Amino acid sequence: MSYKLVEIELSEPLATISLSPQQNGVGVVARWRGRLIGFEMIELPAGSAVTVERLNSLADERFARRILVAKLEEELRKRQPVKEAVLPSLSIAICTKDRAQRLSRLLGSLDRVRTEPTFRSVEIIVVDNASVDATTRDAVAGFRDVRYVFEPKAGLDFARNAALHAAKADIIAYLDDDVVVDRNWLEGLAKACGDNPGAGGFTGLVLPFRLDTEAQILFERRGGFGRGFARREFHNARFENPLHPVGSGVLGAGCNMAFDRALLIELGGFDEALDTGAPLPGGGDLDIFYRVLRSGRPMIYEPEYAVYHEHRETIPQLRRQYWTWGLGMMAFLVKSYRTDDEMRARHRAMVRWWFFDQFKALARAASRLRGDEMRFGLAELCGGIYGLVGEYDRSRARIQAIRERNP
Amino acid sequence: MTAAGFDVRHIDLAAADGDTRGGRALSIFWWKDLPLGMRASLHDELPYGTPQLRQLAAEYAAEQLEARSIRLGAPLRATYEGWPKPALSLAAALEAENLVDSLEEFATVSSASAQDISVVICTRDRGPALADCLFSVAGQRSAPGEVVVVDNSRDGNAKAVCGQFPDVRYVHEPRAGLSVARNAGIKAARGEIVAFTDDDVELHPSWTAEIARAFADRNVEALTGLVLPARLDTAAQCCFQFAMGGFGTTFVPLTFERRFFEETRPSGAHVWKIGAGANMAFRRSLFERIGLFDERLGAGAAGCSEDSELWYRLLATGGACLYEPRAVVFHHHRSDWPGLRRQIRAYMKGHVAALVAQYDNFGDRGNIVRICKQLPVYFLTTFVKALFEGPPGRLGILATEVQGWLAGLQFLLRFGWRKRRTPMLIPPPVAEGVAR
């Protein structure tokens, strides 16, 4: 199982997409005048082709409306008087561990977007999170204007906090090392910052980098990291969801997020007991989104601020990812329950809702005899149970030990 | 405003300056006189910033243009859910230019003459509300040909209120029942178009002009319009608007026709999605074709749904109804819980009664499927959802709905009731074309 990932430009005539004999589907990233408009996946017989008619009807159904919206947005923007705002400065922080090749790929994609003067200044910081050898350092040396910081305490949130303090700019944008940025990434972030000067943070669209394996396709089909192609605004409360902001996963994903750096320092940075690498690789993004919203500052989801994420390659890896989602979610909920008294009723309700939702998904998968779906659902459910019974405390003990080893 | 309430506020997105008000609110968005959409927000989400208003304007405007611009695929028909079926193509979207200008065109106020329209308002023991309603009728941009108030009270207590308005014709109909009153109104009315509204409603100043324009532009026999909440001061009003969906939330024009009828027919033709009796209009010739309101239905009789039963006959016999949200009224929802419960019970009871009546008239089994299968399934899923996800109070309302449903079941069994058919029922040949 393998899908061809193609990019189409809707303002130009469409062309047939032909598949190789190994490919049995396509993932279509659609742009209109360079702007990201939509993403769709189509399953096809191996070695066949997507005809122009098929593409056109897909575009009619899925992309045409967003073109209208984009055109209207541009027209409405022109009608409004332009306020000359002071451009903020930007620090891009990449936390990485033993993945020099992927890091080079990401730095290469950043090099291509850095040409535009969108921010007052742009610096790139690579935080080497206790890599075992010097390949990461060597990879960074191959790019100009990239700062290298070594963080000996293993754990993603140690690295993120190290970046936070090493950075100098107003806005800090975090990227994971398994992503590549879109060509409008920097512009998209600049637009979001310029339009929303009071925002505490920004999240962006995450598209698949490739769809070569069954696991990658399944992950994307089950929702992936995608949060849609419309801008969204999040506050401390939300009419549509009485549990908000506790379900902060709707905001986006930790592999592509940015914050007002001063606010993050004021909030005390990331919780180092979450996102600790192998034992508890999640929850840190949920926690920081939640705390930013609770501080009263809004967060903005901006689809033009987009990255491509390399999803897990194999089914066991993917199952483990779902396990960690359950684990991270519950560790985050336990932590928030202890630290944020005002929201306790919502935390309890969220735990109830989460288990109810997991069981519902499992029942749906079972009734359709979908083995993979059931295994993923079970993994997430077990992760959730394990997370609920003391994972946060276990993780705190682990990071305490790491701190003692690295005074 | 009580702690439970929402402020209802109107925001014109064509005006450049943003909204600065905080508090909890249901914001209704307009482009000048064109209603675009609504959105409820809590204190923390307000005020809306400029980028958010621009985004809302772009998204709402795109919906309007799709549904109104012929080049973009308009007019749209209603799908199974009662939503617009999009007809936009990539080529049309790429070609479209100067979209804000076209939006401005659709937002132009109607100047059509409403001289052919008879406005019929049925009332019963609600003097002060009726006075507000009649004030809003008097404030119409295009004065209607006539205004008929049908007083359904026993002692004719609305006469004094009507006396304050010189152009209002007063008709007293002491036989109880909204259908009876509406039929009396139709018989008294002289206009080519009969437009109905209720005594707990206030009209938008362009209501009659918009109805006149819609009937002039489109060859349809019936029309419904947008019913917005006038106030959301109490928890009961908010529950009706948010948990029960109010009187609909569609802001784009839609045509309900044969295909909608056929698509939804296996589960009883979802004619209640067409609109609300508080804002509907008909060509007079329609009543000659398919008869008047069924007098066994409606408030004061079986409950309600006399309006949707008439739409059922309209669609079943090949007619079409246009939903045009430019015709706007503001409805005062019941403000107390007992009132809301009574209303919900009457809705459900009347709904079942109407399904029985429709089954009797056309022999369509979908109506029975709706009563015996769809509604119980709806009760069950709502119960599970309300149990886990809320909102609080939903379970109580659900119990009332079930009560209404049980009360409605009697109409299935009442043989004498079922034998009585609608007056002036359609001749068999037309019905044959519908029944399989």
Cβ-based contacts of A356 with chain B (< 8 Å): 388
Q: Measure in Å the smallest separation between the Cα of B100 and chain A Cα atoms.
A: 7
Distance from CA of A32 to the nearest CA of B (A): 9
pLDDT at B435 (0 to 100): 37
Question: Does residue B119 surpass a pLDDT of 90?
Answer: yes
- Tell whether B200 is within 8 A of chain A (Cβ): no
Q: Which residues partner with B286 through β-bridges?
A: none
Which of B55, B83, B384 should we substitute to test contact with A (largest number of A Cβ atoms within 10 Å)?
Answer: B55
Peptide bond into A13 cis (omega under 30): no
Residues B315-373 have pLDDT tens digits of: 999 999 999 999 999 999 999 999 999 999 999 999 999 999 898 888 888 999 999 99
* Each residue's pLDDT expressed in tens, for chain A with a length of 407 residues: 899 999 999 999 999 999 999 999 999 999 999 999 999 999 999 989 999 999 999 999 999 999 999 999 999 999 887 777 788 999 999 999 999 999 999 999 999 888 777 899 999 999 999 999 999 999 999 998 999 999 999 999 999 999 999 999 999 999 999 999 999 999 999 999 999 999 999 999 999 999 999 999 999 998 888 899 999 999 999 998 888 899 888 999 999 999 999 999 999 999 999 988 778 888 999 999 999 999 999 999 999 999 999 999 999 999 999 999 999 999 999 999 999 999 999 999 999 989 989 999 999 999 988 888 899 999 999 999 999 998 999 999 999 999 999 87
Q: What is the pLDDT of residue B432?
A: 40
Cβ–Cβ below 8 Å for B389 and A10:
no
Question: Residue B182: pLDDT above 70?
Answer: yes
pLDDT at site B384:
87
Q: Which of B44, B49, B58 sits opposite A76 (nearest CB)?
A: B58
Cβ–Cβ below 8 Å for A237 and B43: yes
Other Cβ atoms within 10 Å of B210 Cβ, number: 27
Given an 8 Å threshold on Cβ–Cβ distance, is A237 in contact with B61? no
A290 neighbourhood in chain B, CB within 8 Å: none
Q: Is B43 on the interface with A (CB under 8 A)?
A: yes
pTM: 0.92
Which residue of chain A has the CA closest to B16?
A80
pLDDT confidence of B18, banded at 50, 70, 90?
Answer: low
Note whether B58 contacts A61, CB cutoff 8 Å.
no
Query: Nearest residue of B to residue A293 by CA position?
Result: B44
Note whether B399 contacts A: Cβ–Cβ < 8 A: no
Q: Is A11 on the interface with B (CB under 8 A)?
A: yes
Per-residue pLDDT tens digits for B291-314 = 999 888 887 777 888 899 999 999
Which residue ranges make up each domain of chain B? 7-74, 117-335, 338-419
- B51 vs A195: CB contact, 8 Å cut-off? yes
The confidence band for B425, taking pLDDT boundaries of 50, 70 and 90, is very low
When CB atoms are compared, the residue of A60, A70, A356 closest to B90 is: A60
> ipTM, 2 decimals?
0.92
CA pair distance A368, A361, nearest whole angstrom: 11
Smallest Cα distance from A56 to chain B, Å: 7
The predicted structure's pLDDT at residue B428: 42
Which chain A residue is nearest to residue B41, measuring alpha carbons? A239
Query: Is the pLDDT at B196 greater than 50, yes or no?
Result: yes
Chain A residues whose beta carbon lies within 8 Å of the beta carbon of residue B391 = 242
- Which residues on chain B are in Cβ contact (under 8 Å) with A239? 39-42, 45
- Flag whether residue A356 sits within 8 Å of chain B, measured between CB atoms: yes
Is the predicted pLDDT of residue B166 greater than 90, yes or no?
Answer: no
Contacts of A361 in chain B (CB under 8 A): none
Indicate the SS3 state at residue A390. Answer: coil
* Any A CB within 8 A of B99 CB: yes
Asked if B66 reaches chain A (Cβ–Cβ under 8 Å), the answer is: yes
Question: How would residue B419 be classed by pLDDT, with cut points 50, 70 and 90?
Answer: low
Question: Cβ of A239 and B72 within 8 Å?
Answer: no
Q: Are strands B168-172 and B146-151 parallel, antiparallel or unpaired?
A: parallel
pLDDT tens string B392-418: 778 888 999 999 999 999 888 876 677
Neighbours of A16 (CB within 10 A): 11
Nearest-CA distance A314 → chain B (Å): 35
Contact A353 B49 (CB under 8 A): no
Cα–Cα distance measured from residue A36 to residue A181, given in angstroms and rounded to the nearest whole number: 13
Q: Which residue has the tokens 């006396």?
A: B163
pLDDT, one tens digit per residue, over B236-291 is 999 899 988 888 889 999 999 999 999 998 888 899 999 999 999 999 999 999 99
Q: What is the pLDDT of residue B35?
A: 96
Residue B1 has pLDDT above 60, yes or no: no
Q: How confident is the model at residue B429 (pLDDT cuts 50, 70, 90)?
A: very low
Question: Which CATH number fits the domain B117-335, given the four candidates 3.10.105.10, 3.40.50.1000, 3.90.550.10, 3.30.479.10?
Answer: 3.90.550.10
Whether B226 contacts B329, CB under 8 Å: yes
Pairing of strands A179-181, A299-309: antiparallel
Treating both helix axes as pointing N-terminal to C-terminal, what angle do A315-339 and A391-405 enclose, rounded to 10 degrees? Answer: 90
Q: Is the peptide bond before B47 cis (omega within 30 degrees of 0)?
A: yes
Which residue, B212, B229, B312, is CA-closest to B278? Answer: B229
Alpha carbon of A153: minimum distance to chain B alpha carbons (Å): 38
A355 — contact with chain B (CB < 8 Å)? no
Provide the pairing of β-strand A201-208 with A299-309: parallel
Give the distance from residue B179's alpha carbon to the nearest chain A alpha carbon, in angstroms. Answer: 38
Angle at A228 between CA A222 and CA A232, to 5 degrees: 135
Look at A67 and B94 and tell me if their CB atoms are within 8 Å: yes
Q: Any chain B CB within 8 A of the CB of A54?
A: no
Closest Cβ–Cβ partner in B43, B99, B389 for A72? B99
- The two tokens of residue A88 are 């903020």
Q: Please give the single-letter amino acid code of residue A46.
A: A
